[in-house]
Structure 1
Amino acid sequence: MNLFPVVLFLSCALCGMAAALGMAVCRLRHQEQSMENAAHQIAEYILDRRKGGIACSEEGAMYRLFHEVNSLVTMADAHADSERRAKEFLRRTIADISHQLKTPIAALNIYNGILQQETADAATVREFTSLSEQELDRIESLVQSLLKMARLDAGAITLERSPENVFDLLEHIKRQYSFRAEQEGKEIVLEGDEQTVFSCDRTWLAEAIGNLVKNALDHTAQGDRILVRWQQSPCLTQITVEDTGSGIHSEDLYHIFKRFYRSRFSKDTQGVGLGLPLAKSIVEAHQGSMEVHSKLGQGTAFTINFPIMTK
């Protein structure tokens, strides 16, 4: 019996098995090296010495594994960036608040020192008591505005919408500021259909529009007029607060809704830079939008647009 074919077959089979085993060993070593590299890259990422995901030229299950790891890395990077932005915003906000409080607190200390020295002069006591009251009102206004903005930012506000007559709402705001307008020789005028009704949270919207009226009073002079007008179409309710005051410099138009922003062109030294941002936040909470048009030396108009929601 000739055994040569059998031996040859077995030899070929053994060689094939050895080659397959060798390839498998090489493949396993390659995958082990890839895993070690990935582990090293992950360790570097955890230690914040490396950005980005894991480089991978593998296929199949290894590719899917690394792809999922890279997805986690991307999510972690996005979360870290968000945390950094939040911390930076908090740092700037605290610095702004500290700066805003520093001035009235310093003034109160000065007034208190004068009052302690001038207790015998009733006129001086009345004068500086009045000034102290103004500074305390300024601090209270700052704190209240900050609390309102914090509640809006945190989503802790649930708007209580109900049908409101626009004229009644704006007439209430006009009465609120009529004494100041009269004292400063300014006029507040309402113009619109007295039967207009739309759905809103009366308290919060009065806050927003009241801030616009106050802003107009802050930037107008004796003899100027503040016009609050409104109109309604089948899809939109529009309210405009327009004044004939000093206007806004073109360099400031893109910044006026930033918190604590103070223009280098403005003569206002009492505002805290929160009225307009707060008004905008309230309007946006109503799914509305706000835009501003202004000409230096001629006046400013803030226009609020509220879409009418239909079923």
Structure 2
Amino acid sequence: MLRNKEIRQFTLLYTIMSAAAITIGFTLHTAAGLLATGCAVAFGTAFLLFTKARYKSIARISSQIDRVLHNADHLFIADAEEGELSILHSEITKMTQRIRDQNRELIKEKGHLADSLADIAHQLRTPLTSVNLIMTLLANSPAEGERKAFIRETEELLMQMDRLITSLLKLSRLDAGIVVFQSGPIAVNDLLRTAVRPFLIQMELRNVDLRINCPSGVVIQGDSAWLPEAIQNILKNCLESAGENGKIELICTDNPLYTELTVHDNGPGFSKEEIPRLFDRYYRGSNPNHAGYGIGLALCKLIITQQGGSITAHNHPQGGALFRLRFPK
């Protein structure tokens, strides 16, 4: 206790005051001096016992906190009587429960990160292995036609790796909070034209029927640089599902509460097991022919939700996948 500066100061002041009271008491009368001495001893003893009890309680709380810092699995802080220590007990109990919850979440995230890194390593290793094999074949292939074919295949594999790394970097920037979305008015027609433009040639080659139904003058609030990226990730998914001679519809509706954009394809849609996990990272679905990395829809959801919007996926009543995006007014 005497290590506490306040206790030392109080003890010194109490000693001086008690000595002065006892001296004055004996000066006046012996009985007064004895009474002052008894009162000083009684009050000093009571203060000492009370302070010692409080220090024991604080020491127990300190021990409990130390157990929390050392990842104790079972932690119990006993209830105290009404008073300051009771309030302190209550606050520490809340703190320990919050630390427990955060610790559980960190353990889950650590496991998820390990699985994700393993998945990413596998996804990168596959094209790298193919590139190494192609380079070996290229070195031993004298035919000019074969060389050109190998070079084209290598370029495609490198582009796949570049897309994967770019998507991962965007995800990490969004997770770290580095990206600051600029909110401004965006004409939905302009947004859709920007999002669709990179796929027009591919759609023409696959004979995909693209239909856009959006009233003129519809405006939403958002980042004009990032929202096309989100819609493009949905279009990639729909284009892959629709296949040759498929159909993709983009429909925009507007009401006083929100602006809704739906993207519908005529592909096979989703299984019941897939729908809850569609926006999970690195989830590639049950389709063995799926060529993606399970990043696009997760990135899409981050971009939209961090700007106040929402996105859901369903099976269309007439068949195919249906993505519904809502942007509140």
8 Å CA contact 2:251, 2:261 repeated in 1: yes
8 Å CA contact 2:308, 2:328 repeated in 1: yes
The whole-number CA distance in structure 2 between the counterparts of 1:117 and 1:143 is 30
Deviation at 1:200, TM superposition (A): 2.2
TM-score by length of 1: 0.82
The whole-number CA distance in structure 2 between the counterparts of 1:175 and 1:130 is 24
- The alignment partner of 1:202 has SS state of coil
8 Å CA contact 1:248, 1:295 repeated in 2: no
Of 243, 250, 257, 1:221 maps to: 243
The whole-number CA distance in structure 2 between the counterparts of 1:236 and 1:304 is 10
Of 174, 181, 204, 1:182 maps to: 204
Q: Which amino acid aligns with 2:226?
A: W
Aligned to 1:166: 188
TM-score by length of 2: 0.78
Aligned to 2:118: 95
Deviation at 1:273, TM superposition (A): 0.8
Of 259, 262, 268, 2:281 maps to: 259
Alpha carbons of structure 1 residues 46 and 172: separation in structure 2 relative to 1, 3 Å: closer
Matches within 5 A, 1:124-163: 124-163=146-185
The whole-number CA distance in structure 2 between the counterparts of 1:191 and 1:101 is 39
Q: CA RMSD in A?
A: 3.2
Alpha carbons of structure 1 residues 252 and 57: separation in structure 2 relative to 1, 3 Å: same
Aligned to 2:216: 194
8 Å CA contact 2:247, 2:265 repeated in 1: yes
- The alignment partner of 1:219 has SS state of helix
The whole-number CA distance in structure 1 between the counterparts of 2:196 and 2:89 is 64
Structure with higher RCO (Cα < 8 A, 6+ apart): 1
Worse overlay, 126-135 or 48-57: 48-57
Aligned to 1:52: 75
Aligned to 2:294: 273
Deviation at 1:52, TM superposition (A): 2.5
The whole-number CA distance in structure 2 between the counterparts of 1:297 and 1:121 is 51
Deviation at 1:231, TM superposition (A): 1.7
- The alignment partner of 2:199 has SS state of helix
Q: Which amino acid aligns with 1:302?
A: F
* Consecutive unaligned residues in structure 1, runs of 5 or more: 1-17
* Consecutive unaligned residues in structure 2, runs of 5 or more: 1-40
- The alignment partner of 2:226 has SS state of helix
Q: Deviations over 1:54-83 (max 9, x none)?
A: 223444344344334434433443443444
The whole-number CA distance in structure 2 between the counterparts of 1:26 and 1:196 is 76
8 Å CA contact 2:316, 2:322 repeated in 1: no
What percentage of aligned pairs have identical amino acids? 28
The whole-number CA distance in structure 2 between the counterparts of 1:151 and 1:262 is 22
Q: Which amino acid aligns with 1:268?
A: N
Aligned to 2:227: 205
Worse overlay, 238-247 or 47-56: 47-56
